[in-house]
Amino acid sequence: MSDAPILFDEIEAAGGRRIGRVRLNNPRTLNALTFDMLEPLYRQLTAWDSDRTIGCILIESTGERAFSAGSDIVALYRGMTGQGDPDYPARFLALEYRLCHAVHMLATPCLAWGNGLVMGAGMGLFSGASHRVVTAASRLAMPEIKIGLFPDCGATWFFNRLPPRLGLFVALTGITLSPRDALVAGLADRAIDHGAHAEVVEALQRIDDWHQPHAAVDRVLRRFAIDRPAGLGPSRLVEHVETIREATDAATLAGMVGGIRRLADHPDPWLAEAAANLDAGCPVTAHIIYRQLRGGRYLSLKQCVMREFKIALQCCRHPDFAEGVRALLVDKDRTPHWHFESVAEVPADYVDAHFRAPWDGDHPLRDLPDIKP
């Protein structure tokens, strides 16, 4: 197989159609999205979407550990800290957000096979697909609170479509979701045995009636979800739904943080981990997430992405994001020194600054389409 970090090919299908296939091919980095991967992926997806001979698009990955564990944030770190091009973060984030938005906007059925880790930007890519498949090995998370960023790549949109306050809980704690959790929360559509992957592709090739392509693809996936289901464990979200609702039942961020932190001594390690993640996470990020999701629940997808771009660039200009990446991925001492020690200490005007445009003139993403074709 080629050493290229992203592979494209087209598979012949019945009815004169073809399947456009993308394979993320950088398993050494858990298929983290690099700048050099973004432009080819964006260009190929949009080209396939305008080609009526493409029956569906398949996004998958090589390796068994990850669909994609996020983006190459170490490269962002270099740009933020003067070790690289200072304009790199703006160029990278603009293209990454265009890509994730474009996946949501595809008129062609798009199947994302989310085997392994699906995190950060990988979650943004996965969530935009019209048909999202998880396997027994799938693990989904947006753990940006650990690095001083925030759940982006359209997370304002998809977290606000979870049951009330659940999106806030997942975002504030960065907790990992199982494949059954993903199905329950509506973050995935089907659970299929990873060993059936080749058979699924062959079944897609045999589709001979593409008059209603989304329905045709769904019929294939529904059959395999029944005949070759993934072996899923329990859902912590279902098991602890009332506990989560009680912990997040507060009218303020401080109240919600306090409720979640009280789960630190819970006998279930999953809930205790959620509390620990929030406790060790970036206090400024907690404020950003709270305002991001509460204030973004009625925004369009385009508005969500445009707003996230402003926040992300401001995170690159403020100290916590660089410090979080340093502690987790550069020096790896896992002891970030946040700008503020607690959520209570963060001034409102400091949070306000993260929601202001750091440029003069028009928004760089103003030309994104607002309506799916």
Banded pLDDT at 371 (limits 50, 70, 90): confident
What is residue 40's predicted lDDT score, i.e. its pLDDT? 97
Long-range Cβ contact pairs of 157-164 (< 8 A, separation 24 or more): 157/104, 157/296, 157/299, 157/301, 157/304, 157/305, 158/127, 158/187, 159/293, 160/293, 160/296, 160/297, 161/186, 162/186, 162/187
What is residue 358's predicted lDDT score, i.e. its pLDDT? 94
Banded pLDDT at 97 (limits 50, 70, 90): very high
**In this structure, are residues 271 and 240 in contact, taking their beta carbons and an 8 Å threshold?**
yes
Domains in the chain with CATH codes: 6-353 (3.90.226.10)
pLDDT tens per residue, range 283-297: 999 999 999 999 999
**In this structure, are residues 247 and 262 in contact, taking their beta carbons and an 8 Å threshold?**
yes
- Let me know if 12 is exposed, middle or buried by CB neighbors in 10 A (0-12, 13-18, 19+): exposed
What is residue 1's predicted lDDT score, i.e. its pLDDT? 63
* C-alpha dist (Å) from residue 17 to 29, 201, 205, 206, 329: 34, 13, 8, 10, 44
**Rounded Cα gap, residues 233 and 81, in angstroms:** 43
**Rounded Cα gap, residues 172 and 73, in angstroms:** 20
Residue 44 half-sphere exposure toward CB, CA atoms < 13 A: 20
For a pLDDT cut of 70, what percent of the chain falls above it? 100
SS3 content of the chain, % helix, strand, coil (to 5): 50, 15, 35
pLDDT tens per residue, range 274-324: 999 999 999 999 999 999 999 999 999 999 999 999 999 999 999 999 999
For a pLDDT cut of 90, what percent of the chain falls above it? 97
Q: Which amino acid is at 137?
A: A
Say whether pLDDT at 164 is over 90. Answer: no
What are the phi and psi torsion angles at 40 (to 5°)? -60, -40
The model carries a pTM of 0.96
Say whether pLDDT at 2 is over 90. Answer: no
pLDDT tens per residue, range 18-31: 999 999 999 999 99
pLDDT tens per residue, range 41-95: 999 999 999 999 999 999 999 999 999 999 999 999 999 999 999 999 999 999 9
b/e burial code for range 182-220 (CB count within 10 A of at least 16 → b): bbbbebbbbbbbbebbeebbebbbebeebeebeebbbeb
Average pLDDT in the 159-166 region? 93
